[in-house]
Amino acid sequence: MAEHSTSDGETGEPFEATRPDYRAAQDDSLVLDLDGFEGPIDVLLTLARKHKVDITKISILALANQYLDFIARARGLRLEIAADYLVMAAWLAYLKSRLLLPSSDDDDEPTGAELAARLAFQLQRLESMREAAGKLMRRAQLGQDFFARGKPDPVAVDTTTVFNATLYDLLSVYGTIRQRQQSSVLHIEPLTLYSMDEALARLNSLLGKTPDWTVLEKFLPAATSDTLLMRSAIATTFAASLELTRQGKLQISQSGTFAPIYLRRHQDEPRDG
């Protein structure tokens, strides 16, 4: 009878899909495929679960051996092993040596037993959270197994407007504003370019003083450290020189491609005054 109404049966996933998909580790023919694991702790936990049902009674030494054996075989097969798996292997080898060798009293380092206890705690704590997640998802859920009032009563006196905004909306909008702020600062940048009008005015004023061929660079404004500004000045001054030539006020000469460009006042034009 646990049937969905037809309206969402078509589009949605089956209801059962919300159950967690934890790896079943009881299988004897467990295949260890690094691809499916979330790091070395996940591997250790899977090994531990296979080893013993009660994870609190796990032998850390046996677990370390299994892990080291696995890494050794993986290397034998020349599989690519991510660095963190190797770091864990090195640490477990160290732990093993501390567990097997008698510890000296004047040693400040934690004993092998202490390290083993910490690892056991880490594994138990993570395992407990995985079980908790499973229990949580197996609970009856709102909108799936139990339901709110389908439609509010039409008899209503007190109308309150509730704005549909979630914390998620608020935070994501704020993030976007901050990014837009960055780009809006950048939009101001074109204002620092040398304009066509400036170039025309400058060229016009200098023209009367240059009856002879003069290289284009001499007409540029005083050099600044702003290279982008200088590049725009070159471009606009050149464009302005073309405009003045078109008006018959200026002559341009260039001996070849990429050769210096020379400008002079148009020779037929009468001097002012």
Site for another protein in 38-57 (CB under 8 A): 38-42, 47, 50-51
Q: Which is nearer to another protein, 118 or 218 (CB)?
A: 118
Token pair listed for 256: 């070849």
Among 53, 173, 215, 239, binds another protein (CB under 8 A): 173
Alpha carbon distance 40, 88 (integer Å): 7
Instruction: For residue 166, give every residue at least 6 positions away whose Cβ sits within 8 Å of its Cβ, in sequence order, or none.
Output: none
> What is the 8-class DSSP label of residue 27?
-
In the region spanning residues 6 to 35, those forming contacts with another protein, defined by CB under 8 A, are 7-8, 11-13, 15, 17-18, 20-22, 29-35
235 lies in the site for another protein, by CB under 8 A? no
The DSSP letter of residue 12 is S
x/- map, 185-224, another protein, by CB under 8 A: xxx-xx----------------------------------
Using the minimum distance from each CB to another protein, give the nearer residue, 130 or 249. Answer: 130
Distance (Å) of CA 203 to CA 92, 211, 243:
78, 13, 11
Nearer to another protein, 80 or 268 (CB): 80
CB of 150 to another protein, least distance (A): 4
250 forms part of the interface with another protein (CB under 8 A): no
Q: State the CB neighbour count (10 A cutoff) for residue 88.
A: 19
Q: How far apart are CA 205 and CA 207, in angstroms?
A: 6
In this structure, the dihedral spanned by the alpha carbons of residues 258, 259, 261 and 266, taken in order and rounded to 10 degrees, is -120
Kindly identify the residues of this chain, within the stretch 129-158, that bind another protein according to CB under 8 A.
129-133, 135-137, 139-158
Using CB under 8 A, which of the segments 99-107, 159-167, 201-209, 242-250 binds another protein? 159-167
The window from 100-108, 173-181, 201-209, 233-241 that contacts another protein (CB under 8 A) reads 173-181
The encoded tokens of residue 24 equal: 């079943």
Q: Which stretch binds another protein (CB under 8 A): 97-105, 126-134, 233-241, 263-271?
A: 126-134
Phi, psi at 258, each rounded to 5°: 65, 5
Residue with Cβ nearer another protein (83 or 222): 83
In 3D, which of 24, 19, 248, 34 has the Cα closest to residue 137?
19
Encoded tokens for 161: 């407007």
User: Is residue 65 part of the contact set for another protein (CB under 8 A)?
Assistant: no
| Residue from 59, 103, 111, 124 in contact with another protein (CB under 8 A) | 124
Q: How many CB atoms lie within 10 A of CB 8?
A: 10
